[in-house]
Amino acid sequence: MPGINGAPMSKPRSLPQHNRFFALVAAAFHQWPERGAGDNRFRPDSEDHLRAWLLCKAGHRHIATFHTDADADSVAALIPIVFLMMANKHAWSWRDGDDIKVCVAKSQSFAAMTHQEFCALSDAVEEVIRVETGLDPEALLREKAA
């Protein structure tokens, strides 16, 4: 069935799928390993922090580049704190030569993504969970439901 301007209509987003995604993030947060390979393993502070990190790791992110003449390492260390305080969003930043890269998760709202895009993102997030933790997303959801 055609949609606006004759373009095919996208399948609408699924509320149960959306809820499953958030349930998976919650389950992963509660089972997230404290230590892993090396000291650089990400340790989330909250479910929201984990969700933002998973979205970024899955490639659903914006990365902006800023040039600075200041000490790039010091500036990069401050950006996530300032961003959280001012925008109430999690951000990650790092030095790249004389530049600073700042990464934030893109929106996954119903208005921002089609059903197919959300399906692909959900699959990518599940793969990040598997790779980063060795945990099986389906098993996490079964344990949460039990």
Question: Which pair of structure tokens corresponds to residue 40?
Answer: 């650089």
* pLDDT tens-place string over residues 43-59: 999 999 999 999 999 99
All residue ranges of the chain with pLDDT < 70 are 1-10, 35-40
Annotated domain spans of the chain: 13-32+40-60+107-146, 61-105
Q: Token digits for 76?
A: 């990069």
E strands along 31-109, which residues? 61-67, 91-96, 99-105
Q: In terms of C-beta density within 10 A (0-12 exposed, 13-18 middle, 19 or more buried), how is residue 75 classed?
A: middle
pLDDT of residue 68: 84
Give me the pLDDT at residue 10, please: 63
